[in-house]
Chain A
């Protein structure tokens, strides 16, 4: 194995991603090659420096616009159970109304006519309904009115 291939394996070994079949090959080469051992030591030094790189504190709220997180973008969501219940209610109501309209017997058209002190329910034909409406709105006869008033 050449040194370049060894460095590539060292990189994987540092990341714990080295294949088990590669390990004996790597350690055999490292035992013989001082340059590669140094390369590995350098990488460990760099890693050590990374670990000692101090964490910086996140700027406090309001300092660098951290308040810019838009609360309003978090849209209100109807709880799933309620949404399902509402949907089910609409479907049931729709089915009930649909069934009532299509199955209810409307029957023969009727009209309630005022007749003195009582109410009489009579069956009407189409012509009756028209004439009834006409009589309801017709002007009283002028001659009869005079006689009634004694003139």
Chain B
């Protein structure tokens, strides 16, 4: 990997790689899969970086690549194993309040359909606005607003179920 601090690619990598990795983790990919996906995204980005004219939009461009790689991996059925491992963690690991909260939210997200989970994470974790999500998902802004509302309804239901249990 390049280590030159002045290299624009290194700068982009340092800024975006942790965010993408954590985004994949929140999408329930294992550490290994999330790391692989992050590598794949940046391998593609490395090849195509010279094509990027507007450096202000590097973030949106990376999200597009990330979205494509994640979708390909889902289609290839190289599926995450966190759902299975999450069940085994339930009793043993979650000791503090924060761990309980994280676990509850993660399980609630896991129970949601892929599209809804992606929508919520783009908004709540990655902080993308409706226009950016519309660009990434190929929807209209109105459709994004409606989809996010439906995703929130689902997430609240799943979250409250786990709160009660």
Residues of A within 8 A of B (CB): 7-8, 11-12, 15, 17, 39, 42-43, 46-47, 49-50, 52-59, 61, 63-71, 73-74, 77
Contacts and interface: CB of A to CB of B under 8 A. Distances in A.
Interface residues of B, number: 40
Contacts of A57: 18
A67 to B, nearest CB: 6
A42 B36 contact: no
A61 B1 contact: yes
B158 to A, nearest CB: 10
Given A49-B105, A73-B46, A11 B18 contact: no
Interface stretch (B55-63, B70-78, B81-89, B144-152): B144-152
A43 B155 CA distance: 9
A76 to B, nearest CB: 11
Closest 3 CB pairs of A and B: A64-B35, A11-B149, A50-B124
Interface of B: 1-2, 9, 17-18, 21-22, 25-26, 31-32, 35-36, 38-39, 42-43, 46-47, 50, 98, 101-102, 104-105, 123-125, 129-130, 145-146, 148-149, 152-153, 155-156, 159-160
Given A57-B18, A66-B35, 15 more contacts: A8-B146, A15-B123, A17-B130, A17-B145, A43-B152, A46-B159, A49-B101, A49-B104, A49-B105, A50-B105, A52-B102, A58-B35, A58-B38, A63-B35, A74-B47
A39 B152 CA distance: 10
A7 B149 contact: yes
A69 B50 CA distance: 16
Contacts of B146: 8
A65 B98 contact: no
A53 B159 CA distance: 15
